[in-house]
Amino acid sequence: MSTPTTERLSLRETGPDELALAATVHASAFGRDEEARLPMAIVAEGHEVLSVAAEIDGFIVAHALFSPLGGPEGAWALGPVAVAPDHQGGGIGSALVGFGLQRARERGARSVFVLGEPSFYGRFGFSAEKARGAWVPWRGEMFQALELVPDALVGWSGALRYPHAFGADEVDSGEPFRS
Ligand SMILES: CC(C)(COP(=O)(O)OP(=O)(O)OC[C@H]1O[C@@H](n2cnc3c(N)ncnc32)[C@H](O)[C@@H]1OP(=O)(O)O)[C@@H](O)C(=O)NCCC(=O)NCCS
């Protein structure tokens, strides 16, 4: 795992009033608006979220959002996650996700689900295998889970309900299926 190259980096939680700033990071990293709008839409639905950011010299250069899921007790979603293009590949994304997972654990999260690159999320212990019990509207190796509490997902199987803003309930209006 790479280490952040700058000593000026700081990691912290952000408030809802900073999500508009964070949106610019998502828009530049993803090159589109969907992920940029997502954090504010989730908060607008009334969900309690955990929002974390990496700053350099007081400027937000990376942002990640955790939000609650319906399903197994203490399950949270991670996403979107983005590092501004000029700062990618220097360890900031890894540091931020690690920080966020630690805060999530302190807040009582027992498991975290993510849709993303296994080569990035595998370093934290996320695996598609752990997510197998979830009934979700997408399939494949990119849908992964991490147990923050050992065996938190063992024996659980059922529908995983995302905040509406994720659009999960629009992707497949039929029976939920396993990843
Ligand atoms: C993905 C992202 C959050 C990673 O943050 P980052 O600060 O660039 O990543 P880090 O420097 O901490 O880690 C880089 C490591 O992750 C891997 N990695 C980074 N981005 C990756 C990606 N999109 N796919 C696969 N692996 C990736 C690198 O190979 C590198 O591995 P190494 O440590 O073994 O060399 C960032 O690059 C980003 O915002 N990308 C565009 C938006 C995006 O795709 N977000 C979805 C996240 S899945």
Contact 63, 53 (CB under 8 A): yes
- Exposed, middle or buried, 6 (CB in 10 Å: 0-12/13-18/19+)? middle
Domain-embedded: residue 3: no
Give the residue among 68, 54, 50 at the shortest CA–CA distance from 25.
Answer: 54
Q: What is the pLDDT of residue 28?
A: 97
Mean pLDDT computed over 120-126: 98
Residue 116's identity, in one-letter code, is G
Nearest CA to ligand 1 atom 27: 120
Substitution candidate for ligand 1 out of 83, 114, 120, 124 with most atoms within 8 A of CB: 120
For 21, the token pair is 């700033």
Q: What b/e sequence results for 97-114 when a residue is b if at least 16 CB atoms lie within 10 Å of its CB, and e otherwise? A: bebbbebbeeeebbbbbb
**The domain containing residue 93 runs over which residues?**
9-171
Domain-embedded: residue 179: no
CATH number at residue 47: 3.40.630.30
Which atom of ligand 1 is least distant from the CA of 118? 25
Distance CA 135, CA 77 (A): 14
Domain-embedded: residue 15: yes
Domain-embedded: residue 178: no
Confidence check: pLDDT of 171 > 70: no
pLDDT category at 117 given cuts 50, 70, 90 is: very high
Domain-embedded: residue 151: yes
Residues with CB under 6 A from ligand 1: 1-2, 29-30, 81-83, 88-94, 116-117, 119-120
Which atom of ligand 1 is least distant from the CA of 142? 48
Domain-embedded: residue 1: no
Domain-embedded: residue 115: yes
Domain-embedded: residue 68: yes
pLDDT in tens, 47-83: 999 999 999 999 999 999 999 999 999 999 999 999 9
Distance CA 157, CA 72 (A): 8
Partners of 56 in the beta sheet?
Answer: 9, 59
| Count of the separate structural domains present in the chain | 1
Substitution candidate for ligand 1 out of 6, 34, 38, 83 with most atoms within 8 A of CB: 83
Nearest CA to ligand 1 atom 33: 1
- Average pLDDT, whole number, for the chain? 91
Distance CA 118, CA 178 (A): 18
